[in-house]
């Protein structure tokens, strides 16, 4: 009986958890797997319609990774993406905190309207904004420099961070801030010493989202930066590995694989914060 | 009492008030003028172009730009982007009135009309380079509103890329007409090797379907550049032909093809023939792609022959890649000077050679370049170039004609009928209405 119960306890999750989850995991991982497999295939196999697309049948090649490293400025692009994303994320999260706090906590005329206005700003697509922003960037003399991206990315990151953090800050009980104020903290100290430590999951969630959006951004990076050595990874790979009607599929997939790594690493480390940050505003 | 004295040029100390005043005035000046301060600036010529499918072409262009820059003591920069990105880049540079000095334009001559007010007149450069290169092929085609607003730079002619081993297997020799290709495609499809041409939203679809339309005597706009002429019996004949080609000789996947799909179909050993420049062959050669199930390289069994003729004519078009100078460029004279340098016969010749003939200039002497005799694969390319016309033929290129291409109205019209979604008449009436609206909307003030 005991051993049967133990066996049932052990086997039960297999059917109640692992089996139901498996299709979703496979679905989510399939693009990564396909990218990885394609990046190691020889060109001749990539062209072969009779080859099994999901497996490597004619030997592994590192040629596509070599192409990226030796024939393109891939690692410069990678570094550019990293610098721009980190800078834009830090700026946006700081501004987002400073904007979200008063909108979530202070009562002043138009607070709700400001909140909605910020959300609506986030909804304006970059494909509409890039033309007027081109003028702004040119007037500021920032064209063809990474600063153009550091300055423009917050235009869509700050509204997002603000909106997300507003929701999170509202879940933090006001009472703990009031206690701090009774103990002598001013508003800024309360925010820095009391609210933010409690709101770390929300801040990390906002930072993760901001970093991901910056890392994947394509349009502004294409429009505002032209020199090859200053391109970000998304634009550089696309520019160099799509030549007319010839696509360097192996190289493109190799670039996509390497490009996925920072995001994967960031989410692996901060997954718990991310989940709690996202769901905090869901229930009262 | 302390003596107050105004700071002199020898005074190394700068007061906080003076620093803030000077800095504030400087920043205000920069913001007001929209220009960086003049001191410390050196002359720099920037050139935006599209990535060639033959990377050596870009390297040769860079070499020439560097060489010209060194000789003229000008800093130079060549920026390369994928051709699909050019539309966005052009729009943003024009919006900001800032960007590169020289820019690739196209595909098509329509940019000259669309950006007419933002491009420098190049009449002088066009007149200088023509005599040295045997003259422009069809100079009247390149004039937009009577002016050289761009220089036509290069085109990739569209021959028919064919699998000779499959033709042999089907006992077919010297196919020359679109009807020949229907017959061969039908036989090919029966043995798993269909004909392949895009019927979706891609540049290749525009090119091939316009070629068929003209070959059957049709055209979408008249010579006056205003009258839409798509509603004709010739168009109906062309559409019936394409319907047969689609249903009898091709696979359904052609409806979703992009510009790379037909290359892949040929190099994968599936398609018996595609209407395409030599890029598929060149990449098959470079990647040593094999005929499926054999150890034979597929490049060995690919050949290029003339673009097919129809019952009325033999005509084709292609991407007309051009180069122009923005009128907000601060280096217009330098840019013109570089164009003159690049269009010198020696330099153009080296550049064509680097591109293995893929990039054929619109200059008579260059169509006879030795590269076209260096490989039997290239022998028909000058022939195709001779029958290549701008996509707006017989009308002039205008922003409206460019819009007809950009909205893929021709491929949509053919595809609606080929797939049975519309009758030929319905599809033509739909296309005619679309085109009439475009041409009416784009009509310029007298």
Q: How many CA atoms lie within 13 A of A77 on its CB side?
A: 29
How high is the mean pLDDT of chain B?
89
State residue B445's pLDDT score.
44
The pLDDT assigned to A16 comes to 87
Cβ–Cβ gap A246/B53 under 8 Å: yes
% of chain B residues with pLDDT over 70: 89
Q: What homologous superfamily does CATH list for B44-156+318-386?
A: Periplasmic binding protein-like II (3.40.190.10)
Q: How confident is the model over B211-221, as a mean pLDDT?
A: 97
Higher pLDDT, B30 or A55: A55
**pLDDT, position B20:** 54
Predicted confidence at residue B24, as pLDDT, reads 57
The partner residue sitting opposite A244, judged by closest CB among B83, B99, B262, is B83
Backbone phi and psi for residue B119, each to the nearest 5 degrees, phi listed first:
-110, 145
* Banded pLDDT at B232 (limits 50, 70, 90): very high
How far does B134 lie from chain A, in Å, by closest CA?
Answer: 28
B267 touches B283 (CB < 8 A): yes
One domain for residues A222 and A114: yes
Question: Any idea what DSSP says for residue B289?
Answer: P
CATH of domain B160-316+407-441: 3.40.190.10
pTM of this prediction? 0.83
Answer with the residue of higher pLDDT: A151 or A107: A151
Task: Please tell me which residue, B72 or A273, carries the higher pLDDT value.
Answer: B72
Same domain membership, residue A56 and residue A75? no
Q: Smallest Cα–Cα separation from B297: which of B308, B309, B289? A: B289
The dihedrals phi and psi of B57, each to the nearest 5 degrees, come to: -60, -45
Q: How confident is the model at residue B28 (pLDDT cuts 50, 70, 90)?
A: low
For residue A219, list chain B residues with Cβ-Cβ distance below 8 A.
88
Set of chain B residues whose Cβ sits within 8 Å of the Cβ of A134: 92-93, 95-96, 98
Residue A195, pLDDT > 70, answer yes
- Does residue A49 sit in the same domain as residue A79? no
Report the distance separating Cα B352 and Cα B56, nearest Å. Answer: 10
User: Could you tell me the pLDDT band of residue B275, with boundaries at 50, 70 and 90?
Assistant: very high
The answer to whether B53 contacts chain A (CB < 8 Å) is yes
Q: What is the CA radius of gyration of chain B?
A: 26
Number of domains, chain A: 2
Q: What is the average pLDDT across B239-268? A: 95
Per-residue confidence at A2, pLDDT binned at 50, 70, 90?
confident
**Residues 192-221, chain B: which have Cβ within 8 Å of A?**
204
Per-residue model confidence (pLDDT) at position A119? 83
Q: Which of B52, B262, B287 sits opposite A244 (nearest CB)?
A: B52
Beta strands in B75-150 (DSSP E): 75-81, 102-105
Among residues of chain A, what percentage have pLDDT more than 70? 97
* pLDDT per position as a tens digit, B14-27: 455 554 565 555 55
pLDDT in tens, A30-83: 999 999 999 999 988 888 877 888 999 889 999 999 999 999 999 999 999 999
Contacting residues of B for A50, CB less than 8 Å apart: 292-293
What's the pLDDT score for residue B14? 46
Q: Would you state the pLDDT for residue A246?
A: 85
The answer to whether the CB atoms of A44 and B289 lie below 8 A apart is: yes
The whole-number average pLDDT for the span A86-96 is 97
Asked whether residue A271 falls in the same domain as residue A140, the answer is yes
CB contact under 8 A, A134 and B93: yes
Closest CA relative to residue B342, chosen from B52, B125, B142: B125
- Residue B15 pLDDT: 53
Q: Is residue B74 scored above 60 in pLDDT?
A: yes
Q: Say if residue A239 is preceded by a cis peptide, omega within 30 of 0.
A: no
Contacts of B368 (CB under 8 A, 6+ apart): B382
Tell me phi and psi for residue B285, to 5 degrees.
Answer: -65, -45
Lowest mean pLDDT among A69-83, B16-30, B100-114, B387-401: B16-30
Q: Show the domain range for A45.
A: 2-61
Confidence category of residue A284, pLDDT binned at 50, 70, 90: very low
What are the residue ranges spanned by the domains of chain B?
A: 44-156+318-386, 160-316+407-441
Contact between B263 and A223 using a beta-carbon 8 Å cutoff = no
CB neighbours (10 Å) of residue A178? 13
Residues A221 and A85 in one domain: yes
- As a whole number, mean pLDDT of residues A185-202 equals 90
Q: Is the pLDDT of residue A283 over 60?
A: no
What is the share, in percent, of chain B residues with pLDDT greater than 90?
75
Q: Do domains B44-156+318-386 and B160-316+407-441 have the same CATH topology?
A: yes
Does the structure show a pLDDT above 90 at A151?
yes
At A147, which CATH number? 1.10.3720.10
Mean pLDDT, range B96-107, rounded to an integer: 93
Instruction: Quick: pLDDT tens for A113-148.
Output: 888 888 888 888 888 899 999 999 999 999 999 999
pLDDT > 60? residue A106: yes
Give percent helix, percent strand, percent coil of chain A, each to the nearest 5. Answer: 80, 0, 20
> Are both A111 and A143 inside the same structural domain?
yes
Residue B223's pLDDT band (cuts 50, 70, 90)? very high
Mean residue pLDDT of chain A comes to: 90
A43 and A91 co-located in one domain: no
């Amino acid at each position: 009986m005991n051993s049967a119960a133990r066996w049932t306890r052990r086997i039960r999750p297999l059917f109640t958890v692992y089996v139901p989850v498996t299709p979703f995991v496979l679905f989510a991982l399939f693009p990564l797997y396909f990218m990885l497999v394609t990046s190691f295939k020889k060109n001749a196999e990539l062209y072969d319609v009779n080859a099994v697309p999901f497996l490597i049948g004619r030997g592994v090649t590192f040629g596509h990774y070599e192409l990226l490293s030796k024939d393109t400025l891939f690692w410069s692009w990678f570094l550019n993406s990293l610098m721009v994303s980190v800078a834009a994320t830090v700026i946006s999260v700081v501004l987002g905190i400073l904007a979200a706090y008063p909108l979530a906590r202070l009562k002043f005329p138009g607070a709700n309207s400001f909140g909605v206005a910020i959300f609506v700003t986030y909804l304006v697509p970059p494909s509409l904004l890039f033309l007027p922003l081109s003028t702004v960037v040119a007037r500021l003399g920032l064209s063809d420099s990474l600063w153009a991206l550091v300055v423009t990315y917050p235009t869509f990151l700050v509204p997002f961070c603000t909106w997300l953090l507003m929701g999170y800050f509202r879940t933090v009980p006001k009472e703990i801030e009031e206690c701090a104020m009774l103990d002598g903290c001013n508003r800024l100290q309360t925010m820095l010493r009391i609210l933010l430590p409690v709101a770390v999951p929300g801040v990390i969630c906002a930072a993760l989202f901001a970093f991901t959006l910056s890392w994947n951004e394509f349009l502004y990076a294409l429009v505002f930066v032209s020199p090859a050595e200053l391109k970000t990874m998304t634009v550089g790979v696309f520019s160099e590995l799509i030549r007319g009607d010839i696509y360097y599929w192996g190289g493109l997939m190799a670039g996509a694989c390497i490009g996925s790594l920072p995001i994967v690493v960031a989410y692996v480390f901060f997954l718990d914060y991310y989940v709690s940050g996202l769901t905090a505003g869901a229930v009262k | 009492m302390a003596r107050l004295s105004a700071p002199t040029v020898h005074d190394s100390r700068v007061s906080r008030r003076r620093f803030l005043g000077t800095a504030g005035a400087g920043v205000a000046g920069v913001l007001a003028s929209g220009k960086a301060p003049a001191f410390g600036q050196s002359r720099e010529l920037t050139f935006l172009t599209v990535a060639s499918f033959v990377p050596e072409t870009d390297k040769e262009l860079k070499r020439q730009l560097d060489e010209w820059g060194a000789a003229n003591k000008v800093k130079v920069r060549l920026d390369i982007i994928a051709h699909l990105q050019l539309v966005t880049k052009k729009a943003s540079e024009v919006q900001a009135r800032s960007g590169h000095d020289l820019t690739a334009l196209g595909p098509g001559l329509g940019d000259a009309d669309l950006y007419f007010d933002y491009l420098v007149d190049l009449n002088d450069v066009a007149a200088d380079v023509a005599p040295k290169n045997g003259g422009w092929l069809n100079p009247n085609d390149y004039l937009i509103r009577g002016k050289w607003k761009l220089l036509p730079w290069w085109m990739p002619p569209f021959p028919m890329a064919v699998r000779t081993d499959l033709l042999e297997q089907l006992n077919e020799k010297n196919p020359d007409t679109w009807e020949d290709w229907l017959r061969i495609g039908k036989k090919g499809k029966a043995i798993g090797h269909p004909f392949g041409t895009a019927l979706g939203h891609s540049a290749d679809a525009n090119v091939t379907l316009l070629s068929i339309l003209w070959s059957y005597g049709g055209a979408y706009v008249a010579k006056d550049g205003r009258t839409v002429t798509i509603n004709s019996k010739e168009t109906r004949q062309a559409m019936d032909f394409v319907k047969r080609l689609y249903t009898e000789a091709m696979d359904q996947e052609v409806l979703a093809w992009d510009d790379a799909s037909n290359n892949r179909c040929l190099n994968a050993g599936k398609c018996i023939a595609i209407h395409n420049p030599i890029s598929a062959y060149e990449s098959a050669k470079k990647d040593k792609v094999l005929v499926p199930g054999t150890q034979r390289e597929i490049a060995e069994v690919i050949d290029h022959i003339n673009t097919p003729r129809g019952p009325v004519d033999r005509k084709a078009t292609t991407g007309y890649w051009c180069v122009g100078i923005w009128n907000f460029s601060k280096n217009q004279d330098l840019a013109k000077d570089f164009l003159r340098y690049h269009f010198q016969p020696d330099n153009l010749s080296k550049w064509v050679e680097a591109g293995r003939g893929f990039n054929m200039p619109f200059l008579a002497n260059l169509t006879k370049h030795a590269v076209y005799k260096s490989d039997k694969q290239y022998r028909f390319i000058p022939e195709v170039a001779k029958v290549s016309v701008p996509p707006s033929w017989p009308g002039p290129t205008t922003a409206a004609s460019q819009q007809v291409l950009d909205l893929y109205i021709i491929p949509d019209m053919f595809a609606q009928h080929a797939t049975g979604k519309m009758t030929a008449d319905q599809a033509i009436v739909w296309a005619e209405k679309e085109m009439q609206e475009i041409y009416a909307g784009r009509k310029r003030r007298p």
